[in-house]
Amino acid sequence: MAFTLPDLPYAHDALASLGMSKETLEYHHDIHHKAYVDNGNKLIAGTEWEGKTVEEIVKGTYQKGAVAQNGIFNNASQHWNHAQFWEMMGPGETGMPGDLEAALTEAFGSVAKFKEDFAAAGAGQFGSGWAWLVKDADGSLKITKTENGVNPLCFGQTALLGCDVWEHSYYIDFRNKRPAYLTNFLDKLVNWENVASRM
């Protein structure tokens, strides 16, 4: 099925006071995400993937161990990643639901330690990629990082939280200060109710 660019679940300027400017969202959503949608649609046209869901395409075109992934995978995975990313943030101050807080404390020792480890994973991802909180097949929670557009679907994991650490996600607002962007993301931008709903 054709990829479609989802509307943002909030106005372009809704996150500005929280550290993600209207300009960033205009570039990131309206240009970068749209490019993944448009290029993905061109690449899957007339192929076996044309009628598949984006999740099926990501899982079916991922090449484990490849130095570089193929174009269909790159665009499909980045479309999926960004569609999740917009939903994982929000302008309202959502407190962390108790069940999520308990799960993070059990897995990482405390919410503060989870945030520290998540930020370290994102800051430590060389080049472009993503930091993730995932639920593994055995139900355990883990922090992972992936290169470029690779995501938890590739490993049979459930994405609970993802943070885009490509420079286009933070350079307008934070320049080259990726660690500051990650701290701000965790402290001000995450919609914790959305994260909890994915468990």
Known binding residues for Mn(2+):
28, 82, 164, 168
The closest alpha carbon to 186, from 161, 158, 157, 156, belongs to: 161
Any alpha helices (H) in 28-162, and if so which ranges? 34-44, 54-61, 71-87, 98-108, 111-124
Phi, psi of 129 (to 5 degrees): 165, -155
141-147: strand order across its sheet: 141-147, 129-135, 158-164
- Assigned token pair, 100: 């999520």
Q: What is the CA radius of gyration of the chain?
A: 16
The closest alpha carbon to 143, from 111, 169, 118, belongs to: 118
Provide the sign of the torsion angle of the four alpha carbons 185, 186, 187, 188, taken in this order. positive
- d(CA 23, CA 164) in angstroms, rounded, equals 16
- Give the annotated binding-site residues: 28, 82, 164, 168
